[in-house]
Amino acid sequence: MKNRSLVSISDYSKKEILHILELAAGFESNPNQPLMRGKVVASLFFEPSTRTRLSFDTAINRLGARVVGFTDASSSSTTKGETLKDTIKMVSNYADLIVMRHPLEGSARYASEQSKVPIINAGDGANQHPTQTMLDLYSIQKTQGTLENLDIFMVGDLKYGRTVHSLLMALSLFNPTFYFVAPKEMSIPREYKTFLKNMGIRYFEQNEMGNLEKADILYMTRVQKERFSDPMEYERVKNTYVLKNAMLADTKDNLKVLHPLPRVNEIHPDVDANPKAYYFEQAENGVYTRMAIMSAIMGVK
Amino acid sequence: MSKQKQLQVSAIENGTVIDHIPAASLFDVISILGLDHISNLITFGTNLDSHKFDKKAIIKVADKFFERDEINKISLVAPHAKLNIIRDYEVVEKRDVTIPDEVIGIVKCFNPKCVTNNESIITRFKVEDKIDLALKCHYCEKNTTRDELQMM
């Protein structure tokens, strides 16, 4: 992993993913390890993202490195018409590592080809967001004790949700059974079903919240109004995929509810107090997994 | 194959005849092979009657012999094209085109939000499905299919 960019979760093998998760556990038990003292990390956010940026900034600071960069494109030379290529060429002369969020899909792969230093993709449009996937995996492993042979429910927008697609691909290395819960308009794309078939992984599709007693992990996502061509259809389905505390009554003791956040109404606030709700801890895990990824790439751990 | 049809455009002494091009794809083939930029003698006919398609086109390029990689590029728009290699007015070899595993710099990514459509970048695709045609973009990772196929 040393000196290699992380653009897509599929850039890492199963062994490499497990190695990162192990490092993350080490950072969780001891978060202040200035292993990157003297290093400079460029944090280039061409579109704003509070959560991801703060999580990276925290991770960088806990590793003892310094941050340079910008928090949205309006304060960068992009507004003067500079190409992504030129920005990356320039910044890679300054920094030891680049963390980048960009609205265009494929921008991270392209940047990794132009840069002298490794790039960590912090989200490229609707394409990939591998550090989110890594923190999801860490959260699952931490709460279940394993990633192998789990029953995973994915609920909500399974068509456009990039977190769902990346997580699905990563989990496929660990023999899961998937239950996809989505309205027809947002069902899981055919290419992912083909992928699962080729991998020999079992999956079920359902239109309503049910069978929750089978779940080890309930991964909730937002159903976005703007994805619907028919507003009536949105009104009809929006309340179908809302998780309420009562629905968790007969579920397994080990079940955890995950959500990449921000949520709107898909998890009722009465779930928050349930010990099975894990979405806030999940966000915290992002700092440790990002520390793990950066230190592995910089070769300091 | 009937010799007569080939003779609808004049015969060449040495070179390559590309036959069974769908008429609609003729100018794509010309541009993919860069025939609009070479000084060789080129004749072409289009909207010729064909058993395979409604109308076909044919191109004859004198003194030009294509590399396999080069000619395979046209398979995306003319999958049934046949090549006749001509030496001394005789067909010495016949060749089919095959869809390559990787397509570089010919096809436009269908995704408007792909970085390749917003900066000057040479496109790159992995061919995931050769029958229904699915080109996976090396950058945005989305599949461009036959219906969305657009040449650069």
- CATH code at position B84: 3.30.70.140
| Number of domain units in chain B | 2
Contact map slice: B 80-119 vs A, CB within 8 A: 109, 111, 113-116, 118-119
- The structure tokens listed for B99 are 């869809």
Determine the Cα–Cα distance for residues A82 and A107; give it in Å rounded to an integer: 14
The residue to which tokens 């001394």 are assigned: B88
End-to-end Cα distance, chain A: 11
* In a shared domain, residues B51 and B87: yes
* In a shared domain, residues B30 and B83: yes
The residue to which tokens 């992995």 are assigned: B126
Indicate whether B1 pLDDT > 60: no
How far from chain centre, in Å, is Cα B131?
16
- The structure tokens listed for A6 are 């992380």
Q: How many residues does chain B have?
A: 152
- Map out the domains of chain A as residue ranges: 32-128, 131-283
The residue to which tokens 């490229």 are assigned: A124
- Give the per-residue pLDDT at B5: 53
Identify the CA nearest to B29 among candidates B87, B92, B90, B80.
Answer: B80
- CATH code at position B134: 2.30.30.20
Q: What are phi and psi of A192, to 5 degrees?
A: -80, -35
The residue to which tokens 């005849």 are assigned: B17
- Summarised one tens digit per residue, pLDDT across range A8-33 is 999 999 999 999 999 999 999 999 99
- The structure tokens listed for A264 are 């709107």
Residue of B nearest to A114 (CA): B121
Residues of A in contact with B141 (CB under 8 A): 8, 105-106, 127-128
- Give the per-residue pLDDT at B91: 93
- Give the per-residue pLDDT at A223: 84
Determine the Cα–Cα distance for residues A31 and A76; give it in Å rounded to an integer: 32
- Summarised one tens digit per residue, pLDDT across range B54-71 is 889 999 999 999 998 889
Residues of A that are catalytic: 51-52, 80, 101, 129
Any idea what DSSP says for residue A254? T
- Summarised one tens digit per residue, pLDDT across range A118-133 is 999 999 988 999 999 9
Q: What are phi and psi of B107, to 5 degrees?
A: -100, 145
Determine the Cα–Cα distance for residues B105 and B125; give it in Å rounded to an integer: 9
Of B139, B141, B142, the CB nearest to A110: B139
Indicate whether A143 pLDDT > 80: yes
Give the percent of chain A with pLDDT over 70: 100
- The CATH classification number of A32-128 equals 3.40.50.1370
- What mean pLDDT value characterizes chain A? 93
Give the SS3 label for residue A139.
helix
CATH fit for domain A131-283, picks 3.30.360.10, 3.40.50.2300, 3.40.50.1370, 3.40.50.300: 3.40.50.1370
CA dihedral in degrees (A147, A150, A156, A158; nearest 10)? 70
- Give the per-residue pLDDT at B130: 86
- Give the per-residue pLDDT at A126: 86
Domain that holds residue B112: 102-148
Q: What are phi and psi of B136, to 5 degrees?
A: -90, 120
- Chain A residues bordering chain B (beta-carbon distance below 8 Å): 8, 83-85, 102-107, 109-110, 124-128, 191
Lowest mean pLDDT across A13-17, A124-128, B5-9, B141-145? B5-9
Asked if residues B76 and B105 have their Cβ atoms less than 8 Å apart, the reply is no
Q: For residue A40, what are the CA distances in angstroms to A20, A43, A58, A151, B55?
A: 21, 10, 14, 41, 63
